[in-house]
Amino acid sequence: MKVLVTGGAGFIGSHSVEALCLHGHDVLVLDNFSTGDRKNIANCPDIEIAGGDIRDFDGLRALLRVNRVDAILHLAALTSDPLSVEQPREYHDVNLTGTLNVLDAGRLSGVRRVVLASSSAVYGSGSAVPSRR
Protein backbone atom coordinates (compact mmCIF):
# COMPACT_ATOMS: atom_id res chain seq x y z
CA MET A 1 0.00 0.00 0.00
CA LYS A 2 1.27 3.50 -0.84
CA VAL A 3 0.86 5.77 2.21
CA LEU A 4 1.33 9.51 2.36
CA VAL A 5 2.43 10.66 5.82
CA THR A 6 1.98 14.39 6.36
CA GLY A 7 4.34 15.69 9.02
CA GLY A 8 6.37 12.53 8.52
CA ALA A 9 9.65 14.07 9.72
CA GLY A 10 8.24 15.06 13.10
CA PHE A 11 8.39 13.02 16.30
CA ILE A 12 5.23 10.97 15.88
CA GLY A 13 5.45 11.06 12.09
CA SER A 14 8.97 9.64 11.96
CA HIS A 15 8.05 6.73 14.22
CA SER A 16 4.96 6.09 12.11
CA VAL A 17 7.04 6.17 8.93
CA GLU A 18 9.45 3.65 10.41
CA ALA A 19 6.60 1.31 11.41
CA LEU A 20 4.99 1.56 7.98
CA CYS A 21 8.32 0.77 6.31
CA LEU A 22 8.89 -2.22 8.58
CA HIS A 23 5.48 -3.55 7.55
CA GLY A 24 6.34 -3.31 3.86
CA HIS A 25 4.37 -0.23 2.83
CA ASP A 26 5.59 2.28 0.26
CA VAL A 27 5.88 5.56 2.15
CA LEU A 28 5.77 9.10 0.84
CA VAL A 29 6.53 11.84 3.37
CA LEU A 30 5.19 15.36 3.00
CA ASP A 31 6.78 17.80 5.42
CA ASN A 32 7.71 21.48 5.36
CA PHE A 33 10.47 20.79 7.93
CA SER A 34 9.43 23.73 10.11
CA THR A 35 9.62 21.48 13.17
CA GLY A 36 10.49 18.09 11.68
CA ASP A 37 13.98 17.03 10.65
CA ARG A 38 15.20 14.82 7.81
CA LYS A 39 17.52 12.99 10.20
CA ASN A 40 14.41 11.65 11.99
CA ILE A 41 13.60 9.56 8.93
CA ALA A 42 17.16 8.71 7.86
CA ASN A 43 16.68 5.09 9.03
CA CYS A 44 14.18 4.51 6.22
CA PRO A 45 16.22 4.83 3.02
CA ASP A 46 13.46 3.59 0.70
CA ILE A 47 10.95 6.33 1.46
CA GLU A 48 10.17 9.21 -0.86
CA ILE A 49 10.38 12.69 0.66
CA ALA A 50 8.42 15.61 -0.74
CA GLY A 51 9.15 18.99 0.70
CA GLY A 52 5.89 20.86 0.76
CA ASP A 53 3.10 22.25 2.86
CA ILE A 54 -0.45 21.07 3.50
CA ARG A 55 -1.59 24.67 3.00
CA ASP A 56 -0.69 24.35 -0.71
CA PHE A 57 -3.82 22.67 -2.04
CA ASP A 58 -2.69 22.54 -5.68
CA GLY A 59 0.71 21.10 -4.73
CA LEU A 60 -0.93 18.53 -2.48
CA ARG A 61 -3.40 17.54 -5.18
CA ALA A 62 -0.60 17.13 -7.73
CA LEU A 63 1.47 15.07 -5.28
CA LEU A 64 -1.43 12.69 -4.71
CA ARG A 65 -2.27 12.43 -8.39
CA VAL A 66 1.31 11.68 -9.49
CA ASN A 67 2.01 9.18 -6.70
CA ARG A 68 -1.30 7.28 -6.71
CA VAL A 69 -1.57 7.20 -2.94
CA ASP A 70 -3.83 4.57 -1.34
CA ALA A 71 -3.97 6.04 2.16
CA ILE A 72 -3.05 9.19 4.07
CA LEU A 73 -1.77 9.35 7.63
CA HIS A 74 -2.29 13.03 8.48
CA LEU A 75 0.03 14.14 11.28
CA ALA A 76 1.08 17.63 10.14
CA ALA A 77 -0.01 20.25 12.65
CA LEU A 78 1.08 23.08 14.89
CA THR A 79 0.62 22.08 18.54
CA SER A 80 1.94 24.71 20.94
CA ASP A 81 -0.79 26.05 23.26
CA PRO A 82 0.97 29.38 24.00
CA LEU A 83 1.89 30.04 20.36
CA SER A 84 -1.64 29.25 19.21
CA VAL A 85 -2.83 32.20 21.31
CA GLU A 86 -0.11 34.47 19.94
CA GLN A 87 -0.50 33.33 16.32
CA PRO A 88 -4.15 32.25 15.93
CA ARG A 89 -4.34 32.84 12.18
CA GLU A 90 -1.28 30.71 11.42
CA TYR A 91 -2.57 27.90 13.65
CA HIS A 92 -5.99 28.10 12.02
CA ASP A 93 -4.43 28.09 8.56
CA VAL A 94 -2.26 25.03 9.22
CA ASN A 95 -4.51 23.00 11.50
CA LEU A 96 -7.93 23.67 9.99
CA THR A 97 -7.40 24.81 6.41
CA GLY A 98 -4.44 22.44 5.99
CA THR A 99 -6.49 19.49 7.23
CA LEU A 100 -9.35 20.44 4.92
CA ASN A 101 -6.85 20.55 2.05
CA VAL A 102 -5.59 17.06 2.91
CA LEU A 103 -9.12 15.67 3.09
CA ASP A 104 -10.35 17.39 -0.06
CA ALA A 105 -7.26 16.62 -2.14
CA GLY A 106 -7.50 13.01 -0.98
CA ARG A 107 -11.17 12.82 -1.95
CA LEU A 108 -10.54 14.33 -5.37
CA SER A 109 -7.60 11.97 -5.94
CA GLY A 110 -9.54 8.84 -5.01
CA VAL A 111 -7.76 8.15 -1.72
CA ARG A 112 -10.03 5.79 0.20
CA ARG A 113 -8.37 5.78 3.63
CA VAL A 114 -7.39 8.72 5.81
CA VAL A 115 -6.18 8.50 9.39
CA LEU A 116 -6.10 11.77 11.31
CA ALA A 117 -4.13 11.93 14.53
CA SER A 118 -4.88 14.86 16.76
CA SER A 119 -2.92 16.32 19.65
CA SER A 120 -3.44 16.62 23.37
CA ALA A 121 -3.08 20.35 22.73
CA VAL A 122 -6.75 20.42 21.68
CA TYR A 123 -7.61 19.98 25.37
CA GLY A 124 -5.57 22.99 26.50
CA SER A 125 -3.16 23.08 29.39
CA GLY A 126 -4.36 21.22 32.44
CA SER A 127 -3.27 21.75 36.00
CA ALA A 128 -3.30 18.10 37.06
CA VAL A 129 -0.46 15.80 36.06
CA PRO A 130 -1.06 13.23 34.80
CA SER A 131 -4.24 14.42 33.13
CA ARG A 132 -7.13 12.11 32.30
CA ARG A 133 -7.74 12.06 28.54
Give residue limits of the domains in the chain. Answer: 2-120
DSSP output for 55-76 = T-HHHHHHHHHHHT-SEEEE--
Assessment of whether the complete model's pTM goes beyond 0.75: yes
pLDDT band at 53 (very low <50, low <70, confident <90, very high): very high
Note the pLDDT tens digit of each residue in 78-115.
988 888 889 999 999 999 999 999 999 999 999 999 99
Q: What is the pLDDT of residue 45?
A: 86
In the chain, % helix, strand, coil (3-state, to 5) comes to 45, 15, 40
Q: What is the pLDDT of residue 127?
A: 62
State the amino acid at position 24 in one-letter form.
G
Q: What is the pLDDT of residue 118?
A: 80
Task: Tell me the fold of 2-120.
Answer: Rossmann fold (3.40.50)
Lowest mean pLDDT among 11-15, 22-26, 29-33, 122-126: 122-126
Residue 72 β-bridge partners: 4, 114
Note the pLDDT tens digit of each residue in 58-85.
999 999 999 999 999 999 999 888 888 8
